Amino acid sequence: MDKYAQRRQWLVQQLDQDSVVIVVGNQAKTRSKNINYHFRPDNDLYYLTGFTEPNAVALIRPQHNAEFILFVRENNAAAETSFGARAGLEGAKRNFNADQAYSVNEIHQQIPQLLEQRCKVYILDEQEFYADKVSTWLHQQRRSTGFDIPKVYRHLLPLQPLLHNARVTKSEDEIALVRHAVQASIHGHKAMMKQCKPMMNELQLQAIFDREIANFGCRDVAYPSIVASGNNGCCLHYEDNNSTLNHGDLVLIDAGAEYQHYCSDITRTWPINGKFSDAQQQIYQLVLAAIDAAIAKVKPGLVWNDIYQTCIEVMAQGLIELGIITGSFEEVMRNECYRQFTVHKTGHWLGMDVHDVGRYHDDDNQWRKLEENMVFTIEPGLYFPSDCLDVAEKWRGIAIRIEDDILVTASGHENLSAAIPRTVIDIETYMQSS
């Protein structure tokens, strides 16, 4: 529990003793009738407490003798027999170092009292489970006391700007967890690549990935895996994963393991039959050149948007050279005609959330500069839907994205996912080897 206590200590040092922090956790969600989805705790609550049960709420009061309070489910013998042990009130204090613990069923009675005379209430309730109750919590004191009792006029403040920006830069412990998730994913991607054959189903490749990451203790993926063959790859968040892998098509796989609440996010694209066609190879080489050019620039002090700009400039020039778009480089960059085929941005923060929290701009609204121990993805892509009549037939149905997970080091960068084959020759050799 030390790392969670240290994070809470950092947080209270940013605030004054007139403040209270309320962080609301996730609640169990129904899948069908009496069957729930597998529960995953809210990342912010977990980041500050390590608590992993549903319905929890944390309350933190800087410079108070009972600084850290948890609202949790009470122990219930029948429920625990059916669905597993609960920490309960005593476990919240004993195992999670809460100074006080209350039943979550008492939250509406207790929170107005626990706010005491404090006026600044920082709340983080991403799912708005208590959105209709917050006003009552804040104003109950002045509305329910006698006319001659001093009134407390509270105001509500967001916690996200403070907490989420802190999460952008990772500790060594966090980097180790991301590394483990990436390593599991490397083995998953390589297993899919090695076992891929025409006439398989996309779902079978997904199952290969799931089995492989389980060998690394990863009980879940960081996001629904995208296994998109042929034209399916032109749908950026394709999740059906139920088409046949056809000879001569590419398969685009965007899949990442999650390990102890930390994510990986990796994309590779390869030929189902193990051999790129000429057209596929030309587009693949272009996307690879874009990501490699961007990765080469990564070091502390690089402006975030330079990554996107580098990828776009390389791909735009390549599209001109292939005759897919026309005009001079300057004209193309000005009219942005490449956007028909690039479609999306080229990266995001990575951590507890796969699209991790934190701003991409500084306090002056300028693009943020990279710092040591930031982790993010770079993921350029080019997409030519089968019904796109603006390109020659040989390009239609080609969708290629390459995505790597990048750590900023003191002097440069480390590509955490580089071990998955990513050049044309390496992919073909790996797929065709016994």
Domain boundaries, the chain: 2-166, 169-432
Statement: residue 148 has pLDDT above 90: no
DSSP letters for 302-337: -BTHHHHHHHHHHHHHHHHHTTSS-S-HHHHHHHTT
Which residue has tokens 């968040």?
237
Return mean pLDDT, the chain. 97
Question: Selecting from 3.30.1280.10, 3.10.129.10, 3.40.350.10, 3.40.50.2300, what CATH number does the domain 2-166 have?
Answer: 3.40.350.10
Out of 136-145, 153-162, 229-238, 255-264, pick the least confident.
136-145
pLDDT computed for residue 414 by the predictor = 98
pLDDT of residue 421: 98
pLDDT of residue 150: 87
Return the residue matching tokens 């700007």.
Answer: 161
- Per-residue CA distances from 286 to 89, 229, 402 (Å): 58, 20, 11
At 386 the pLDDT is 97
- Cα angle 296, 301, 303 (rounded to 5 degrees) comes to 75
Contact 433, 285 (CB under 8 A): no
In this predicted structure, the answer to whether residue 434 has a pLDDT above a threshold of 80 is no
Question: In this predicted model, what pLDDT tens digit does every residue of 160-201 receive, in sequence order?
Answer: 999 999 999 999 999 999 999 999 999 999 999 999 999 999
Q: What is the pLDDT of residues 333-365, one digit of tens each?
A: 999 999 999 999 999 999 999 999 999 999 999
How much is the average pLDDT of 57-66?
Answer: 97
pLDDT of residue 146: 84
Stated pTM of the model: 0.95
Q: Kindly report the CATH class assigned to 169-432.
A: alpha beta
Q: Looking at residue 120, what is its pLDDT?
A: 97
Nearest to residue 99, comparing CAs of 58, 138, 134? 58
Tokens 């180790």, residue?
176
Per-residue pLDDT for 56 more than 90? yes
Is the fold of 2-166 the same as that of 169-432? no
| Continuous segment of H or E residues that includes residue 220 | strand 220-221
pLDDT given for residue 74 in this prediction: 97
pLDDT at 425: 98
Query: How would residue 147 be classed by pLDDT, with cut points 50, 70 and 90?
Result: confident
Q: What is the pLDDT of residues 68-101, one digit of tens each?
A: 999 999 999 999 999 999 999 999 999 999 999 9
